[in-house]
Amino acid sequence: MTSLLMCLCCVLLELMAVHSRVLMQSRIVGGHTAAPNSIRYLVSLKSTSGQHFCGGSLVHRYWVLTAAHCNIGAEQMMIVAGDYKVNIFEGTEQYAKPRILVIHPLYNRSTNNADIMLIKLRAPMVLNKYVSLAPLPRQGTGVAEGHVCRVSGWGYNSLEGGQVPVTLRTVTVPIVSTARCNSSDSFNGNITANMICAGYSTGGKDACKGDSGGPLVCDRRIYGVVSWGNGCGDAKFPGVYTAVSRFRRWIDQTIYGSYLRCFKPWR
C-alpha cells in the first residue's frame, strides 16, 4: 500500500511538472502587464471563431507586419486593432478582414529563414488614441549586443490550446550576438543573417507560443518579429526574431510599389 501511494505521488508530481512546463511555454515569460493602450500599433490575429493565435504590427493603415508562419489563410483570419484584453469587448477595437497575404519569397518553413509576412486589409484602420502605426528601422541597420529591447503579446494560457480573457503583457530582453546564438551550446549554426536573438543568459524572460508575429521594439522601432525558439525562457536558447531591417526595402516595395497594381510577388 505504501509503495502504491509513493507511486501515485510520483505520477502526480510528474503531471504537475508537465503542467508547469506547458504553462511556462504559453505566454510572455517573466514579463508584466502592459499599460492600457501603450502599444497602439500591436494587433491581434484571430481565427474566424475569435481565437487569438498570433500578433502583428500595423505599419500602414491598410497593412500589418507579422510572421510568415502565422499564415492560416486569409479567409480564416480576422485582424483586430485597438485591443487590450483579448476576448473582452472594450469598445476600442477595430476589425478588418485580410484582402491578401504576402509571404516573403525566401521564407523557408523548415529553417524559419525570412519568416515575415505582410497582410493587406480590406478596409483601412482608423488612427486614433488607441491605434497607431509602428515605426520601422532603415534597411540594413542593426542593434548592438546587449541593447535592451521590448517584446509584447497576448499568447495562450490553457493546456487545451484555448484562451481565457487575458491582458496584453510585455517583457524586456537584451540583444544576443549571432555568434553566441549560433554556438554549439545554443542553436548550433541555425541562425541565419535574417534573424536576431534576444534573451538573458540566465533565462526566465522571453516571448512564447501565441506571441508569434509580434514586435521586438528597440529604440522605439520594430527591429524584430517573434519567430521561433527552443522552449521559452531557456538560458541556453534566446528567443529568435526575424530581422526587420533586412526586409525594409521589401516591405516598402510591397506596400508602395508595383505589387498594388499587378498583384505579382515582389522580386
Catalytic residues: 69, 115, 212
| 107, 94, 44, 171: CA torsion to nearest 10 | 120
Cell numbers placing 104: 516573403
Contact partners, residue 157, CB within 8 Å, separation at least 6? 23, 26, 27, 163, 164, 166
Cα–Cα distance measured from residue 259 to residue 267, given in angstroms and rounded to the nearest whole number: 10
Cell numbers placing 201: 543568459
Q: Nearest to residue 223, comparing CAs of 106, 57, 71, 110? A: 57
Alpha helices for the chain (secondary structure H)? 2-24, 178-181, 248-256, 259-262
